[in-house]
Chain A
Amino acid sequence: MNLDLLVRAKTLGFSDRQIAHLTRRTEDEVRAERKRHQLVPSYRLVDTCAAEFEAYTPYYYSTYDRGDDEVTLTQTQKIMILGGGPNRIGQGIEFDYCCVHAAFALKEDGFETIMVNSNPETVSTDYDTSDKLFFEPLTLEDVLHIYEREGCKGAIAQFGGQTPLNLALGLKRNGVNIIGTTPENIEIAEDRKLFAAMLDKLGIPQPPNGLAVNAEEALVASHRLGYPVLVRPSFVLGGRAMQIVYSDSELTHYMRFAVEASPERPVLVDKFLEDATEVDVDCIADVGHFTNVEDGTIVVGGMLEHIEFAGVHSGDAAMVLPPHTLSQGVIETIRGYTHAMAKELRVCGLMNVQYAVKGDTVYVLEVNPRASRTIPFVSKAIGVPLAKLAAKVMAGKTLKELGFTAEIWPSYWAVKESVFPFNKFLGQDIVLSPEMRSTGEVMGLDADLGIAYAKAQMAANSPLPLKGRVFISIADAHKKDLVQLAQSYLDLGFELVATNGTATALEAAGIKVQRTLKVLQGRPNIVDLLKNKEIQLVINTPNGSAPREDEVKIRTTAVMTGTPIMTTISGAKAAALGIAALQKHGYSVKTIQEYF
């Protein structure tokens, strides 16, 4: 290849991948060609003074405007931490938190820490956080250069979310030592067939499921499993294009418009477990350090019971730690399964498991042997910095050495609630689904579960009302809960408002209710009441998968007017619990230093 052209391409910021495609080579060939010509980037300092004074903070960027490399070479053992890149829904601050902890932990253990990230909003890109900061794109090309330039001993790819994980295999192929749970074992958890084989071996049930590479196969699988089924593409984070489908026509539509299925990227079809309770478990283990897996230590960091029933993405669901409705037997089963899988995958670091509990049966939905979105929440709830401990384990320590060998079961409650950007996307239906859409989270802490829930709602800028009128409109499938739920709000001193169908059902049960009109029945209707702030709380659960237009209108108006809205029965029940607690004794504040 013409060297002049190659030099010009790199100076203009072209990546190896662009050059490879434009000159009909592979990325590896372009890299090899560059290295043959010693065409590698130099690293310059961000130093506030355009190199006029000597700089002491090692904050670097790469450039092909060559000469003058400004990196100070050091002899300490170095570990690279790969950050999460730009925030997006499904991959946000939680992963940056884990990366920052990794930097702190490894610094404490005497390593030199090398942070690579491209997100300016984060603490990980503060020059104070790591020993060296490389503000660079998280691509194979850019990361490899730094790794080789610095002569790192290893790299952590399990803390920054999906971004570094996607790089892990490529990096490993190019000689990078990915520390912690091996990329091959991570692959077992991500590959559908290998995963099923592992569960089979361990005797752990998972919901009946199948694979489909086209619409016909999807129909066959769904008929075998029976509707509803949960469909999703393989290899995604944040539940992108994940959906619950109830019929052939919905499935056909999904296969045609929502995903691109192919033999390499099949669509996963799972039996959807209706009304199951989901549980997220985060655990830490050092099994990978031992030849005999029985010598390793596994500790469950936290079990989080979802408030919403299965079908809501775990990033969107409200959660309670410790579980508030699970039986001791179920908790034991979950603990047993978690330990068994951590051993089997020879986990060295963190592992997150999602379970669905239906009756006494515990199903495994998903296993991720890496830092999860809930790690910071669990760490705050139990007062133990799990990410920090995990980083030390990955770099060689055992949990016994670190003194963390026993589970912590708090005597208070921690509630996680999610925060959504629906007010920025007016017109978008707000019903929670398997597709994650929240941007952030809050925590409510209290000795009383109701207060902890109420605090989480306040923090999420959707404070529970203490009096006023509740509009209640419930899908037919949930009508069995209607009377009891309505009665609980009446008992709390609220007035009830409903449209004809619900009102008739309530009156039949002897419950007093004010009638209002549906959107299409005339005016003033429920939307007018909302706009006039005559409703203080909306309980509106969706009717099937294709919501009626007026339902959507009610929900979006609630968002626009800032009226608190519950779209699940369990959420509405939790709200009643919170209101009752607030009415009884208000709330007080307490520092986390006092909790632990």
Chain B
Amino acid sequence: MPKRTDIHSVLIIGAGPIIIGQACEFDYSGTQACKALREEGYRVILINSNPATIMTDPEFADRTYIEPVTPEAVEKIIIREQEEMHRLGATGKLVLLPTLGGQTALNTAMKLHHAGTLERLNVEMIGAKADAIEKGENRQVFKELMLSIGLDVPISGTAHTLDEARAVAERIGRYPLIIRPAYTLGGTGGGIGYNREEFEEIAKRGIDLSPVSEILVEESLLGWKEFEMEVMRDCADNCVIICSIENFDPMGVHTGDSITVAPIQTLTDKEFQIMRDQSFAVIRAVGVETGGSNIQFGVSPETGRMVIIEMNPRVSRSSALASKATGFPIAKIAAKLAVGYLLDELRNDITRKTPASFEPTIDYVVTKIPRFAFEKFPQADPTLTTQMKSVGEAMAIGRTFKESLQKCLRSLEIGRSGLGGDGKAWRIGTDFIGDRDTFPRDLITQKLSVPNAERIFFIRHALRAGFSIEEIYTLSKIDRWFLVQIQELVTFEETLAASVN
């Protein structure tokens, strides 16, 4: 199918300022989209209030509005631009592309949709339709949809008041419980309630912070393995998996705060194929007609039960990572699919031979590690939870997980040159422990069981202090395969140190 000729101008909504949960990855995706659409000859109109972005450079769009990303400002722009198009004698129409500017863009577009503004001004949303966004973003609707196509989801219920939240908690019947506010970014206001008191406090805050006063209360999958799939679909229903990602940290830590690895390392091929099939089923059921989506899965390490956690019907933080991990430009392709192209009609820039419908294959391991800034917020709690707290990330590529992990640790710029053994003392609160000193067992136990920014290093400290893989697994629920890899590094560190004695 050729590109649409009824479109004259495409309005792209940018992500606004850099905040935790929405960083410069949306400049990357937005910049790609601008380039891709102009390449096709469309007039590109952009709104973004963030001057530090490349996409707001005057040459990337035909019309660049550095204005607040609010429904009101977008409405003013649409009216102004439609007048301008009339003046230019344009025959095509103005359409809105809301899936490349993160949650901010999606929320802004949905507000305009709900207010009837888009219909009144006759503006079509491309990339994802309002009902698909609704199905993907509204947790209750999404869950029911998943159950209706025979997929498993965590047991849960929604609540708009504290009383409703209590009723859902009673129905699930056991703590801990996960609280997720609807329509908030990076899980703002969410958390884990280990007891009734904590649950009620977080539930109340979640209801307050959700723009629609709604929270989802969910059975806890703490300790389950977490995976992500990056899927793309075109309007002829072709689907491809761009990248599979495994979270090193088990469920309970926001994926933005988790160490993640691509491709998936610890599933059997059969499990992986089931996950792939389910990903296609999800994107089809939600009805994201064109573009990319990110789907998150949980897998019980005991029973193997696989549940779908959530999906983002848009280009997400993980899409940027998946693009860099595979070389496949998700945002660029998503923009082209949005204007009518099919995956098999688009060429893969890298090979110039294969079409975009070829799934990327990778012969290396990619590791991403988040970067935190707790030293700036000494009064705040540094425990990692379902609410994202990291401010950045590093990625590294190697031929093995071990190589990519060590490269990534030295990319983080936290003064470490790898997993350890670089001679630098470890700062624990206000104390220092020598690089090759043995850590106290109780400190190790605590740092392994409560997710925190230094946990990866504490696996080393634990192994050096004589903890077994089983002990570390019981405390952290980090898959044994990863622990064994780290053990190889620690063992070699000792070999190397012993070689000079």
Residues of A participating in the B interface, judged by any CB pair closer than 8 Å: 2, 5, 8-9, 11-15, 17-19, 21-24, 44, 46-57, 59, 61, 63-65, 85-89, 92-94, 96-97, 100, 118-123, 125-128, 135-139, 142, 163, 240, 257, 376-377, 380-381, 383, 385, 416, 419, 421, 423-429, 435-437, 439-445, 455, 458-461, 463, 560-561, 588-593, 596
**Taking A18-B417, A47-B350, A460-B17 as contacts, is the C-beta distance between A126 and B28 under 8 angstroms?**
yes
Contact A24–B500 (Cβ < 8 Å): yes
**B188 interfacial by beta-carbon distance below 8 Å:** yes
**Taking A118-B395, A439-B18, A441-B50 as contacts, is the C-beta distance between A13 and B66 under 8 angstroms?**
no
Interface string of B24-39 (1 = CB under 8 A from A): 1101100110010000
* Bound CA–CA A97/B16 (angstroms): 15
Partner of B352, one of A17, A56, A135, A435: A56
Contact B20–A589 (Cβ < 8 Å): no
User: Which of the segments B73-81, B159-167, B304-312, B443-451 contacts the partner chain?
Assistant: B73-81
* Bound CA–CA A561/B189 (angstroms): 11
Q: For residue B465, give the distance in angstroms from its CB to the closest CB of chain A.
A: 18
Closest to B354 in A: A53
Contact B360–A48 (Cβ < 8 Å): yes
**Taking A123-B31, A560-B205, A589-B65 as contacts, is the C-beta distance between A135 and B396 under 8 angstroms?**
yes
Q: Which residues of A contact B349 (CB under 8 A)?
A: 56-57, 127
**Taking A48-B328, A442-B17 as contacts, is the C-beta distance between A560 and B208 under 8 angstroms?**
yes
Contact A591–B371 (Cβ < 8 Å): no
Contact A419–B52 (Cβ < 8 Å): no
Contact B418–A18 (Cβ < 8 Å): yes
Q: For residue B40, give the distance in angstroms from its CB to the closest CB of chain A.
A: 16
347-364 of chain B: CB within 8 A of chain A = 348-354, 358, 360-364
Q: For residue A421, give the distance in angstroms from its CB to the closest CB of chain B.
A: 5
**Taking A135-B395, A135-B396, A459-B69 as contacts, is the C-beta distance between A123 and B499 under 8 angstroms?**
no
Q: Which residues of A contact B407 (CB under 8 A)?
A: 13, 136-137, 142
Number of A-B contacts (CB under 8 A): 359
**Taking A5-B496, A56-B350 as contacts, is the C-beta distance between A121 and B19 under 8 angstroms?**
no
382-422 of chain B: CB within 8 A of chain A = 387-389, 391-400, 402-408, 410-413, 417-418, 420-422
Q: For residue A165, give the distance in angstroms from its CB to the closest CB of chain B.
A: 12
Partner of B66, one of A21, A385, A443: A443
* Bound CA–CA A93/B52 (angstroms): 6
* Bound CA–CA A178/B101 (angstroms): 37
Partner of A14, one of B354, B371, B406: B406
Contact A13–B364 (Cβ < 8 Å): no
**B302 interfacial by beta-carbon distance below 8 Å:** no
Contact A46–B394 (Cβ < 8 Å): no
* Bound CA–CA A416/B353 (angstroms): 46
* Bound CA–CA A126/B389 (angstroms): 25
Partner of B326, one of A8, A46, A121, A122: A46
Q: Which residues of A contact B435 (CB under 8 A)?
A: 21
Q: For residue B490, give the distance in angstroms from its CB to the closest CB of chain A.
A: 11
Contact A428–B377 (Cβ < 8 Å): yes
Q: Which residues of B contact A8 (CB under 8 A)?
A: 492
Query: Closest 5 CB pairs between A and B?
Result: A87-B392, A440-B18, A13-B406, A425-B380, A459-B49
Q: For residue A23, give the distance in angstroms from its CB to the closest CB of chain B.
A: 5
Partner of B208, one of A61, A461, A561: A561
* Bound CA–CA A19/B417 (angstroms): 10
Q: Which residues of A contact B31 (CB under 8 A)?
A: 123, 126
**Taking A65-B403, A94-B52 as contacts, is the C-beta distance between A596 and B418 under 8 angstroms?**
no
> What is the number of residues of chain B that contact chain A, defined by CB distance less than 8 Å?
113
Interface string of B230-261 (1 = CB under 8 A from A): 00000000000000000000000000000000
Q: Which residues of A contact B394 (CB under 8 A)?
A: 85-86, 118-120, 137
Contact B410–A9 (Cβ < 8 Å): no
Closest to B25 in A: A121
**Taking A49-B354, A118-B395 as contacts, is the C-beta distance between A93 and B20 under 8 angstroms?**
no
Closest to A436 in B: B376
Residues of B participating in the A interface, judged by any CB pair closer than 8 Å: 16-20, 23-25, 27-28, 31-32, 35, 49-54, 56-58, 62-70, 73, 76-77, 80, 186, 188, 205, 208-209, 317, 320-321, 324-329, 348-354, 358, 360-364, 368, 371, 373, 375-381, 387-389, 391-400, 402-408, 410-413, 417-418, 420-423, 430, 435, 488-489, 492-493, 495-497, 499-500
Contact B406–A15 (Cβ < 8 Å): yes
Q: List 22 A-B contacts (CB under 8 A).
A: A14-B418, A22-B497, A23-B496, A46-B362, A47-B327, A53-B351, A56-B349, A57-B349, A86-B412, A93-B52, A97-B54, A118-B408, A121-B320, A135-B397, A376-B52, A439-B23, A440-B17, A442-B51, A443-B49, A443-B50, A459-B16, A561-B208
The A interface, classified by DSSP as helix, strand, loop or mixed, is loop
Closest to B410 in A: A137
Q: Which residues of A contact B492 (CB under 8 A)?
A: 8-9, 12, 14
Contact A86–B360 (Cβ < 8 Å): no
Contact A85–B413 (Cβ < 8 Å): yes
Partner of B56, one of A51, A139, A592: A592
Contact B421–A22 (Cβ < 8 Å): yes
Closest to A423 in B: B188
Q: Which residues of A contact B489 (CB under 8 A)?
A: 12-13
Q: Which residues of A contact B209 (CB under 8 A)?
A: 423, 560
**Taking A14-B418, A424-B388 as contacts, is the C-beta distance between A92 and B497 under 8 angstroms?**
no
Partner of B402, one of A12, A123, A126: A12
Partner of A89, one of B373, B404, B413: B373
Q: For residue A546, give the distance in angstroms from its CB to the closest CB of chain B.
A: 13
Q: Which residues of A contact B391 (CB under 8 A)?
A: 87-89, 421, 439
Q: Which residues of A contact B32 (CB under 8 A)?
A: 126, 128
Q: Given A14-B493, A49-B354, A440-B50, 15 other A-B contacts at CB below 8 A?
A: A5-B496, A12-B402, A14-B406, A49-B350, A56-B350, A86-B411, A93-B52, A127-B350, A423-B209, A428-B380, A435-B376, A589-B73, A589-B77, A591-B63, A593-B58
Q: For residue A253, give the distance in angstroms from its CB to the closest CB of chain B.
A: 12
**Taking A5-B496, A15-B418, A380-B56 as contacts, is the C-beta distance between A592 and B373 under 8 angstroms?**
no
Closest to B492 in A: A12
Q: Which residues of A contact B404 (CB under 8 A)?
A: 13
* Bound CA–CA A439/B294 (angstroms): 25
Q: Which residues of A contact B49 (CB under 8 A)?
A: 442-444, 455, 459
B17, B69, B406, B410 interface centre (most CB from chain A within 10 Å): B17
B68, B326, B412 interface centre (most CB from chain A within 10 Å): B68
Q: Which residues of B contact A142 (CB under 8 A)?
A: 407, 410
Q: Which residues of B contact A118 (CB under 8 A)?
A: 394-396, 408, 411
Partner of A54, one of B28, B69, B326, B351: B351
* Bound CA–CA A376/B17 (angstroms): 13
